[in-house]
Structure 1
């Protein structure tokens, strides 16, 4: 039996977007099957996503904050599914993966395949694929373009750390877990969201992800050794011309073999040979550029560069509670 409206929580859906940017997510939200009187949609316009989300959270009126990106395409029943997990009082956050649409270009699909591969996405690959059933998890499986929090807990913890972007949600979830709160990853809460359209945009994305991880490491004081592996590999590549002896080439040859195998496997899984040359580029780019970003974040975090500029945030309530 479906719970009545009185048994369901109220949701505030929050979408950060650049000034006057297009909000593609609204088209899918218009098909949501959750009771009209139990959810609102706030679009936060600005240039600092962490700040935009925090400002909107303070203005929100729902019990649950559901963060989406401007291009996150949800399933009509996603709020019902998320609500079911919040029946457990210790659950502080619920989210699902971000899937690459089949209609994306070969480059975009190659990026998506790399993210879901053990060679590319590694321990965070479940952010980008449906795998298993709903479970208690951690920040390695949750992603901010499809993530909800209890509003009271979010605000009690002062929301997202505005010094960070990206990785601001990871830092918050780390804090929540240390206090004993539960996080839920539900593969059936998947959204559909396209990957970067150009190689240049992908490079910027990977560099930003790495830099955010480095900055998060400094802020939290908690080092995840696996996050340093790409950086160590980058250092090895840079030092290789100065290392004498063929034995030093062995790690590189092994790496190239692994990348080649993963690229072939990805193109077969994607049923498109056009993916192969792109995967051969995408995998090394992911590792090396991410590694460079981590080093930059550790060495020169942006939040130590002086006073931060806070751009104006405009909140538009495009759908109020009915």
Structure 2
């Protein structure tokens, strides 16, 4: 048996979908006999990841999305953090490629900003040093777990998608286990291709957060602000144009300032212009999803079923590419 820690890289994909992440995995700087790659096909990512984890032979699981482009040293970095036996999960940010369109880079800039990303913005930017963290800074497209810890916890709650990793990490933290965020452990992923897909993504994020709340956790004040803002806009016509409009004025000013600042950071003035539209789309879509999820959760009180999942081994521990 090799002394180097062994990993199972798990990638969920829709049936027949392309797995562009594999191209980068072929070139990583890690002993070939110390990692395997499993691709789980299906339409329920939580189920897919759990089924692949159950078949994994590595000491550690590393979850990527089908388009997560990893740096060559990512398993080396993860292995270094897992040397501490109290560390249950390790991950880093998901960054927007410079080759993305102006619209996509505006989506990424919004996620990475205080106004758009809030407490989860470090999922989308490289900031600070290696640190112990909570689920707010970790994201499932770039996240590793100890396999035994993951399986002992029952894996991801299959009633949830998204936010399944947040629920699991919150449970691990309550058990006294540590989570680590490493800014150097970054992947690149393109943002949604157009505004409609972005709106659908944020609605799904909000709904997932609401369903996590139903299951007993995951609600901070910042999570509720978009929903409260949406409700405020609904009653604003009845408040008149006096003091009741002050919050809207403050929001518009904050949007203008953040669009200017984040566009400047991107080095592209067009990003500033697009952000004027992206920020309201982000907040209102997330708020609508949160309200919808609170009112109409998709699960019915029991853990989700298996669905149809096919796990394919792309690379075994024993094989070279």
Range of TM-score over shorter length? over 0.9
In structure 1, stretches of 5+ residues that fail to align are none
Displacement, 1:297? 1.0
Q: Where does residue 15 of structure 2 map in the other structure?
A: 19
Equivalence for 1:296: 292
Supply the distance in 2 between the matched residues of 1:115 and 1:22 (Cα, whole angstroms): 25
Do the aligned partners of 2:118 and 2:222 also contact (CA within 8 Å) in 1? no
Structure 2 unmatched runs, 5+: none
SS of residue matched to 2:115? coil
Task: For residue 51 of structure 1, give the secondary structure of its aligned residue in structure 2.
Answer: helix
How far 1:244 sits from its partner (Å)? Answer: 2.9
* Secondary structure in 2 matching 1:211: helix
The residue number in structure 2 matching 1:210 is: 206
Aligned residue in 2 for 1:259: 255
Output the aligned Cα RMSD: 1.4
Select 2:144's aligned residue among 148, 155, 166: 148
**Could you tell me which of 116, 128, 133 is aligned with 1:132?**
128
**What is the DSSP-based 3-state SS (H/G/I as helix, E as strand, rest coil) of the residue aligned with 1:131?**
coil
Q: For residues 43-62 of structure 1, give each alpha carbon's deviation from its aligned partner in whole angstroms, at most 9, with x where no partner exists.
A: 00000000000000001101
Distance in 1, matches of 2:295 and 2:186, equals 35
Deviation readout 1:192-213 (Å, 9 max, x if unpaired): 0000001110000000000000
SS at match of 1:266: helix
Find the counterpart in structure 1 of residue 73 from structure 2: 77
1:219 matched to 2:215: yes
Q: Does 1:233 align with 2:229?
A: yes
Aligned pairs for 1:161-180 within 5 A:
161-180=157-176
1:123 maps to 2:119: yes
Distance change in 2, residues 1:171/1:80 (3 Å): same
Matched residue, 1:102: 98
Deviation at 1:268, TM superposition (A): 1.2
Q: Which digits, 9 at most, give the CA deviation of each residue in 1:238-276, with x for residues without a partner?
A: 100111351101110010000001011111111112112
> Is 2:30 aligned against 1:34?
yes
CA contact (8 A) 2:167 2:217 kept: no
Partner residue of 1:193?
189
* 8 A Cα contact 2:2 2:34, kept in partner: no
- Pick the aligned partner of 2:60 from 64, 70, 91: 64
Aligned residues: 318
* CA distance in 1: counterparts of 2:143 and 2:94, whole angstroms: 10
The residue number in structure 2 matching 1:314 is: 310
Please list the CA deviations of residues 128-183 of structure 1 after superposition, one character each: whole Å capped at 9, or x if unmatched.
00011111111000000000000001000110000000000000000000000000
The DSSP-based 3-state class of the residue aligned with 1:120 is helix
TM-score, structure 2 length as denominator? Answer: 0.96
**Corresponding residue number in structure 2 for 1:181:** 177
